Structure 1
Amino acid sequence: MVGILAALLLIHGGFLAPDDPHSSYPSISYEVARKHEVKPHRRTIPVDGVRPGFNQLHLTLIVSPTGDVTKADASGSDADLKYWPSLQGEVGQWRFEPFDKNGIPVTVEVEEYVDLVPPERMPKKHVIAPAIGPDSKVTVNLKRTGCFGSCPSYSVAVSTTGITFDGRGFVVAEGKHTDTADADEIREFAKRIVDADFYSMDESYSASATDLPTYVLTVSIDGHQKQVVDYEGAWEGMPAIVTDIEERVDALARTSRWIAGDDGLVQALKAEKFNFQSFAAQTMLKEAASHGQTATVQQFLQAGVPVKPIPPPKLYKEEPGSSFQPVGLLTSASHHTATLQELISAGASRDDQGDKDLALVGAAQAGSVEAARALIAYGANPSADLEKLTITQESGGMTLQGPGSGNVLIYAAESGNPAIVREMLKYHPKLEARDREGKTAMFSAGDYRSSDQDGARVECVRLLAKAGANVNARDHDGNTPLHETFLTDVEEELLKLGANVNARNKDGETPIFTTVDNDAIPLFVKYGADLSIRNNKGETVMEAAKSKGPLRQEALRKAMQTASSR
């Protein structure tokens, strides 16, 4: 959801600490930061006056070496930012386990967000729920559908007769799986559901949005059934207890075993007499490896899952003419060093050069030097011709495959980790190797999709340039790296290294036309950007700026005034 804000961010400073220049602080994503929370923070907050629908504040936090929030800034629409003062006190109390660099606690910049939702819409009319006796038959079923992305799709039922899980997509264990349950514990859970007045709630809390997962909660007590549909219901005032019940179902069933391969999966499979010599077992092994579940991977191997590829049964075979290639074990684990090393020790893909090389691509993309070294020692080729391989990528909830291109160095540079770039340069790769769009490693080093709070991407650019990479390389559209990156520090470094500020692409545009970084405008002017150049439409950069809004026009005016006053 954070990306929805990209086009309308307005910075609003916090007052938890004096202003502090923090451009050099390491940047921590919210996924990583949440693993460091001392206790879970509220990120869905009911606020009086908030309108139904999507309302979100993007937070930039400065966290001290002791884990305290010392400064907080918020970004969002004007309508949402007006609620920020009432939330600052709570955010200021957030605590994290210290973040460290090389074993030493450091100050970091954390990217987070909070969703603002309307106050809870409580039931208008009380419905008498069934009584629960010592022999009552209870079933609580939770169904979670997929989304435009990789949301786990499954249904799970916890009942007085046991647990049933049915994995449909983006889970480690697809298909039906079962486990035992404590009947009395399920009845106690049902009593709490009744006490929460669940039977009186609306049948549906559905937001006006698309591409999100739907959750359906169905409670049956001695045949008396109540169902509530939750489609981002919090945006519409759905009582928070509904989410609590959903999460409790997952906790009682321990669905994380089947969804993410958490501890207990292999034991549960053994209890249901699962065939560990099957294609399905090997598929689960790959999925567990892709989640970095090293302990579960070890248990699968100990249970006898072979590392030699098992042919799919007829049910799974592709249609004639299909070119879909199964992902190898090493490639599945390539973003997780410990898991990867476990599979290497087991002899996975010992004779499969393609899987070794693709795994090296994955390790480079993840920025993992240790994984890359382990793979190269195992036989992966750092100079592999990727055009002979099939690259698999996940995008928008779909698995896409296509012919590879470029070389491992391009993926190493894309990671933004100077250490992996330095490691790959040891093998003297082709610096001007190109991907399908004609882009070299110099392009991917300045990948605009990523931030560069710690200057790591600048260092990647320096390393490549020092090795002899061309800062004025052209892709198939005639763009140079300076056209493509929108990170101010990378743009400045490219200019220092000799990037041509007036290079024109196939549309006749120089970098000052293509950048979306208004902070770079004065930088381009300083380095000699020719503002009289016209693109293929006959527009100057100022004329073209009219379609990009008043902020772009103002940035250009200021830069031109500064230049003329020199």
Structure 2
Amino acid sequence: MSASRKWMFGVLAMCGLNVSGAVQAYPENSVEAGAKPVPSCGPHQLDGVSAADNIAAHRQFELPTLSYAGNAVPSHWNVPFTLLVDASGRVACQVMDSEFGQPRALNNTRRELLRAMSGWRYRPFGVDGKPSAVVISERVAEQQVPSKHQTLPDVPLDQVTISLSRSGCFGTCPSYEVSIHGNGKVDYEGVGDVDVQGKHSFSIPPADVAALVENARRADLWSMRTSYSALITDSPTYVLILKMGQQRHEIEDYVGRMVGMPVSVGDFEEEVDRVGRTFEWTSLSMAAVEQLQREGFDFDSQQAADTLARAVANERGSDEAAMLRMIDLGTPLKGGNAARPPPGVPVLTESTLLNDALVHHRAALIGPLVARGLLNTHGVLDRNKLDKAFQDAIRGGRLAAVRKIWNTGDGKVQPSLWFVDESDEGASATRKRVPVALLLSRSYRDAHWDGQAIAEWLAAKGCDLKARAADGDTLLHRAVDAGDIGFVRYLLLHGLDASTPGAYGLPALGSAQNEDIALLLLRAGSSWHMDDGGAGFGRYAKEQHWARVLAYLEQHKDEAR
């Protein structure tokens, strides 16, 4: 079951406990004289419109960081808030949220924050083109400052080495190590979930290293603890090592922000990545390809094929010119694997390079890969490969790619408008032949998704937009999952039933994360009672601060269930 279909019931809490001895986060006179703490929100004040805009872009101030010294530390670090911001951009009231069920105690430093919050200003948020009160979420970081200052050793630059390693995680966290030496030499080793693996060395200006050392001095890194480790699992570990001559200081960061690690440590880690140019290697770049050429790298090798496959499938990467350069240098287009199989497991012989390019919308690669015969078998267009490429183009969500694959056969061979869908929901698996339009699914944060345009194009080719997937979902479910209100409106106008149950028996409303979409579905007649008489959806709407939806539910509470 997708996370978006699980009702998440948060607990809002405000505590009046005191923790003495906290270091004030604001210099003297930084808070307006006579300023009063922003009050806690009343029971219904947060029943309003949630801001869908980029909150950071509306801030006309810099979020502070709260600091603590010695043993005067909070029981739970960092303070998430739910704020009601009025139409003028002022904070009207606040609730200090709990996290994982753990309430935040209100200490002296946090009380000072509530006073300072009265001076926070946001560029007014708009609803339907007019300034409006909105409910937003903010998170204020907290840190434990070093209790004792330790001076960074002053040594000649050629005796300096600064290293950063990042481990893998339960997911796809890039795992690598980079060491920056005072003479400008950089040693990079890619381990896992990076495009370029193995050991590679290159040079940067020594002046960049000198600036990095001065920033380490300003950040007071030599005074930091050797370990900041949170009691959670499955996250990556970062290790920062400063070698100054014969002296060495190591800082372990295991989700350190959750246990008061100073913000400057994380900022410095990012600076090491920037100065060491690690992103040129973790995500393939032209600079990395050129360095590989200087090293005499064999581009006609399995290693090269794997590197290209990883780059094409890496959602973090975007340098298509570097990918094309590898192709021009003779990198094999078949047999590459984004993830190498374990020893003893045979390597797949059929390339997925074109399919990954389509799914990850690498527009510049599609034509060259098709021209190089990746849709052919023994020199003849392969119908099965064509069908798979067409399906992956739809998954990628770019109409231009869908059209390109459709036209590959020059009208003689065309992809199928059907595919076999499978669902393992319930006690037994279900297989069903359904229209390819049901492959539409918006990837996370894909701002250029052409879902509606592809659906319209497929409908003109004969696709039935009202069909249901093997798990019962309709295209309306896909549009709601995507948060695409225009697509939702289009499907409703073309006769899709808002109440049609999909996976787990939920109508499309069950995955709505946008109030305008939820309201549109309700007004189109969607059932909202789900399987609990509507209580769950009502709680969810309240937690999302959907005032208009709550008003609708109140007006229709006596409807037959």
Fold match by TM threshold 0.5: yes
Match of residue 116, structure 1, among 114, 137, 140: 140
Judge which range, 254-263 or 317-326, deviates more: 317-326
RMSD: 5.1
Give SS of 1:7's match.
Answer: coil
Give runs of aligned pairs for residues 409-420 of structure 1, distance below 5 A: 409-412=437-440, 417-420=451-454
- Cα 1:349/1:304, change in 2 over 3 Å: same
Q: What residue identity is the alignment partner of 1:117? A: A
Deviation at 1:313, TM superposition (A): 12
C-alpha distance in structure 1 between counterparts of 2:442 and 2:479, whole Å: 5
Q: What residue identity is the alignment partner of 1:426? A: A
| 8 Å CA contact retained: 1:261, 1:296 | yes
| 8 Å CA contact retained: 1:58, 1:113 | yes
Paired positions, count: 479
Deviation at 1:332, TM superposition (A): 3.7
The answer to whether residue 453 in structure 2 is matched with residue 431 in structure 1 is no
- Cα 1:151/1:471, change in 2 over 3 Å: same
| 8 Å CA contact retained: 1:204, 1:228 | yes
The answer to whether residue 48 in structure 2 is matched with residue 45 in structure 1 is no
Give runs of aligned pairs for residues 190-229 of structure 1, distance below 5 A: 190=213, 193=216, 197-229=220-252
Give runs of aligned pairs for residues 120-519 of structure 1, distance below 5 A: 120-124=144-148, 126=150, 130-133=153-156, 136-160=158-182, 162-183=185-206, 185-186=208-209, 189-190=212-213, 193=216, 197-289=220-312, 290=314, 291-306=317-332, 308-310=333-335, 316=341, 319=344, 327-336=352-361, 338-341=363-366, 343=368, 347=372, 349-351=374-376, 352-353=385-386, 355-364=388-397, 368-378=398-408, 381=415, 383-387=417-421, 407-412=435-440, 417-447=451-481, 452=483, 456-457=484-485, 459-475=486-502, 477-482=504-509, 485=512, 487-499=514-526, 509=532, 516-518=540-542
| 8 Å CA contact retained: 1:8, 1:76 | no
Give SS of 1:287's match.
Answer: helix
| 8 Å CA contact retained: 2:336, 2:351 | no
Deviation at 1:492, TM superposition (A): 4.2
Name the TM-score, length of structure 2 as normaliser: 0.67
- Cα 1:192/1:229, change in 2 over 3 Å: same
C-alpha distance in structure 2 between counterparts of 1:4 and 1:152, whole Å: 31
Give SS of 2:331's match.
Answer: coil
Give runs of aligned pairs for residues 512-531 of structure 1, distance below 5 A: 516-518=540-542, 520=549, 523-524=552-553, 526=555, 530=559
| 8 Å CA contact retained: 2:91, 2:120 | no
Q: Deviations over 1:33-76 (max 9, x none)?
A: 7xx8999x9667335698364535468999x9xxxx96779775
C-alpha distance in structure 1 between counterparts of 2:130 and 2:416, whole Å: 34
Give SS of 1:264's match.
Answer: helix
Deviation at 1:466, TM superposition (A): 3.7
| 8 Å CA contact retained: 1:330, 1:355 | yes
Give SS of 1:227's match.
Answer: strand
| 8 Å CA contact retained: 1:144, 1:213 | yes
Give SS of 2:359's match.
Answer: coil
C-alpha distance in structure 2 between counterparts of 1:44 and 1:386, whole Å: 53
C-alpha distance in structure 2 between counterparts of 1:46 and 1:311, whole Å: 49
- Cα 1:173/1:119, change in 2 over 3 Å: same
C-alpha distance in structure 2 between counterparts of 1:108 and 1:353, whole Å: 50
- Cα 1:484/1:146, change in 2 over 3 Å: same
The answer for unaligned runs of 5 or more in structure 2 is: 1-5, 15-37, 99-103, 377-384, 424-429, 444-448
Residue 546 of structure 1 is matched in structure 2 by: none
Q: Deviations over 1:384-412 (max 9, x none)?
A: 405499xxxxxxxxxxxx99985442343
Q: What residue identity is the alignment partner of 2:323? A: V
Give SS of 1:147's match.
Answer: coil
Give SS of 2:520's match.
Answer: helix
Match of residue 86, structure 1, among 116, 123, 126: 116
Q: What residue identity is the alignment partner of 2:392? A: A
C-alpha distance in structure 2 between counterparts of 1:465 and 1:93, whole Å: 35
C-alpha distance in structure 1 between counterparts of 2:63 and 2:197, whole Å: 30
Q: What residue identity is the alignment partner of 1:461? A: V
| 8 Å CA contact retained: 1:330, 1:340 | no
The answer for unaligned runs of 5 or more in structure 1 is: 95-104, 390-401, 534-566
- Cα 1:155/1:382, change in 2 over 3 Å: farther
Deviation at 1:10, TM superposition (A): 8.9
Give SS of 2:188's match.
Answer: strand
C-alpha distance in structure 2 between counterparts of 1:4 and 1:213, whole Å: 28
C-alpha distance in structure 2 between counterparts of 1:4 and 1:55, whole Å: 25
Deviation at 1:443, TM superposition (A): 2.2
Q: Deviations over 1:10-52 (max 9, x none)?
A: 99999xxxx9xx9799x4567xx7xx8999x966733569836
| 8 Å CA contact retained: 1:340, 1:371 | no
Deviation at 1:316, TM superposition (A): 4.3
Q: Deviations over 1:412-469 (max 9, x none)?
A: 365785334333333332335444532121222222xx6x5xxx42x32332244343
C-alpha distance in structure 2 between counterparts of 1:428 and 1:497, whole Å: 26
| 8 Å CA contact retained: 1:512, 1:529 | no
Q: What residue identity is the alignment partner of 2:65? A: I
Give SS of 2:10's match.
Answer: helix
Deviation at 1:256, TM superposition (A): 0.9
Residue 32 of structure 2 is matched in structure 1 by: none
Deviation at 1:370, TM superposition (A): 3.5
Judge which range, 199-208 or 75-84, deviates more: 75-84
- Cα 1:321/1:293, change in 2 over 3 Å: closer
Q: Deviations over 1:100-141 (max 9, x none)?
A: xxxxx9999999865423344124253x6544136x433211
| 8 Å CA contact retained: 2:498, 2:507 | yes
Deviation at 1:254, TM superposition (A): 0.6
Give SS of 2:440's match.
Answer: helix
- Cα 1:109/1:249, change in 2 over 3 Å: farther
Percent identity, aligned pairs only? 21
Give SS of 2:172's match.
Answer: coil
C-alpha distance in structure 1 between counterparts of 2:533 and 2:189, whole Å: 54
| 8 Å CA contact retained: 2:49, 2:134 | no
